[in-house]
Structure 1
Amino acid sequence: MAICYIAKTPDYWLRVKLESNEIISVPYGLKLERLEIKAGREYFKILEGVYKGKKASVSMPPGGSYLTDKIKHQSGILLKFDRKSQSLHVGGAGPFNAFSGGGHSGYTPVSAGTYLLAIPAYPSAQTRAAYNHWCTYHNLWFRIGIETTGSRFLHAGIISDGCVTVRQFIYDPKKKEKPPAGFEDLVQGAQTAPGLLGLPLPEKPAPCINWDTLVNTILLCRHDDQAVGKLVVT
């Protein structure tokens, strides 16, 4: 079996075609079995994640390949999230700023427990271009739990519908500061749905971790063929 992986792309996603002709996106570092090269396309079998067992192909770029054998997965990583202090530990590093929103429109913070953290399955559309000021991979989200119907994720953001949301900046309406460009809606949100913004903030908020740094820390970790590691919520 010729093992290979999705090579690095600018946004860490690669669009490929399944045998059914459906076009999907797969993340950097996804493990594959290389099958053949035919008519300018590389054919492979996906060995992990939500499309495990599916066969797919991708057109080859001039003089190169979107597949590589130069990647080595690391052991599964452990993340610990404390809801009260709004803090996240990643492996042995932290605390970093994160929160889980609720208290509006039926949303509730994530429950205490231990969850698998899934290999990313698709680029999230629930983000905004303004995050580009801080990070590149803000549409790369990790599902909390491996059930594909799950709607809670570990992700970069400033608004949380019950996910574990990793702040890229801290907005404190008590300081009467204007939010950054592209986030003007936070002023109204702080008034109408403060829980979704994790307000009020803890007395001493943890520092922010750059989302790209976090992604590069955990994306190539593997607990098994469906998860990068575990998330413990207290």
Structure 2
Amino acid sequence: MVKRLFTRRAEPSGWLSVRLSNGELISLCEYTAVDVTREIGGRTYFVISDGWIGVGKEASLTSANAGKYLSPDGPSGAAVMLATYNGAPAEENSPFKGRLLQQWATLSFDGKTATVTLNSVWNGEFHPIPPGSHAILSPDYSHAAIATTGYANATPGMIGNDVWFPIGLNGQLVNSSRYVHVGHLSDGCVTVHQLERWTAVYQYLISHRAPGSAGKRVGTLTVRK
């Protein structure tokens, strides 16, 4: 009998490595739905059933790790976030990135707030995310190649620093190359500058999925000036 379970992170950075049946290792984000099909030879086999990563492929974990990192508890419904511009761009001297002109905003979610920057590169190529209603998509892949360990090392208890949430402009299920992520530099993303608030942002987003989206949409981001 097939059993529906949901992944949990094995690494503080937010990912769980699983082995595809062709031998390839891939990383799944938390709350990815998997359908367990069998257990044999000390391994638990399952089909990746939603999200953007490896959907429809068979993968496995050691049965010991399956017991640790697969859970019957699935995500809650759609997340709701509001980003409100905080006036005109203003300069800061980031301890990580140096002097930057930041478009500040306040991100409100789950009864909490976090200071974010919507843009800090002003060469005409990048622009702050426009006002409107946008889709927050589930994570697409590990962004470990973009150095975020410095933020994690400077912030006790930070998790999910390599997990970025794509933004679909105007509600589309299309990655606009803008993300909700942690950091001090924004190329038009919603970058959580207040590092100590990132874990709360991450935990809220990763534990939600919009019903009927096959795990591809986390929720909605409303942006206001």
Asked if TM exceeds 0.5, the reply is yes
**For residue 81 of structure 2, what is the aligned residue in structure 1?**
79
CA shift at 1:63, angstroms? 7.5
* 2:148 maps to amino acid: R
Q: 1:38 to 1:24 in 2, by over 3 A?
A: same
Q: 2:147 aligned with 1:127, yes or no?
A: yes
Instruction: Determine the structure 2 residue equivalent to 1:222.
Output: 209
TM-score where L is the length of structure 1: 0.73
Task: Look up the equivalent residue of 1:210 and give its one-letter code.
Answer: R
Q: What TM-score do the two structures reach when normalised by structure 2?
A: 0.76
Q: CA deviation at 1:91?
A: 3.2
Pair 1:111–1:80, CA change in 2 (3 A): same
- Change in 2 beyond 3 A, CA 1:51/1:32: same
Deviation above 6 Å: which 4+ runs of structure 1?
none
How many Å separate the matches in 2 of 1:93 and 1:221? Answer: 16
- Residues 66 and 54 (structure 1 numbering): CA distance in 2 closer, same or farther, change over 3 Å? farther
User: Do structure 1's residue 54 and structure 2's residue 56 form an aligned pair?
Assistant: yes
**Larger radius of gyration between Structure 1 and Structure 2:** 1
Give the alignment partner of residue 97 of structure 1, picking from 110, 115, 119. 115
Query: How far apart are the structure 2 equivalents of 1:64 and 1:88?
Result: 35
Distance across 2 between alignment mates of 1:108 and 1:90: 23
Structure 2 distance, partners of 1:19, 1:63, is 17
Question: Could you give the per-residue CA deviations for residues 159-198 of structure 1, whole angstroms, max 9, x where no partner exists?
Answer: 00110011135xxxxxxxxxxxxxxxxxxxxxxxxxxxxx
| Equivalent residue number for residue 9 of structure 1 | 10
Kept in 1, the 8 Å contact 2:78–2:219? The answer is yes
Which deviations, in whole Å up to 9, do the C-alpha atoms of 1:140-168 show, x marking residues without a partner? 111112424x3110011100011001113
Q: 1:62 to 1:43 in 2, by over 3 A?
A: closer
Are the aligned partners of 1:4 and 1:67 in contact in 2 as well (CA < 8 Å)?
A: no
**Which consecutive residues of structure 2, in runs of 5 or more, have no partner in the other structure?**
88-104
Partner residue, 1:161: 187
Give the match for residue 25 of structure 1: 27
Deviations 1:56-95 (A, max 9, x none): 323316476354334232111110112345111113333x
Indicate how the Cα distance of structure 1 residues 213 and 92 shifts in structure 2: closer, same or farther if over 3 A, else same: closer
1:213 aligns with 2:200: yes
Separation in 1 of the partners of 2:66 and 2:167? 35
Preserved CA contact (<8 Å) 1:127 1:157? no
Give how far 1:47 is off.
Answer: 1.8
Residue ranges of structure 1 left out of the alignment (5+ in a row): 170-208
- Say what the alpha-carbon RMSD is for the aligned residues: 2.2
Q: Alpha carbons of 1:26 and 1:63: their partners in 2 closer, same or farther (altered >3 Å)?
A: closer
Q: For the Cα contact (< 8 Å) 1:60–1:66, is it kept in 2? A: no
- How many residues align? The count is 193
Tell me if structure 1 keeps the 8 A contact 2:53–2:141.
no
Residues of 1 paired with 2:116 and 2:138: CA distance?
A: 20
- Counterpart of 1:229 in structure 2: which amino acid? G
* Whole-angstrom CA distance in 1 between matches of 2:109 and 2:163: 17
Letter in 1 for 2:208: C
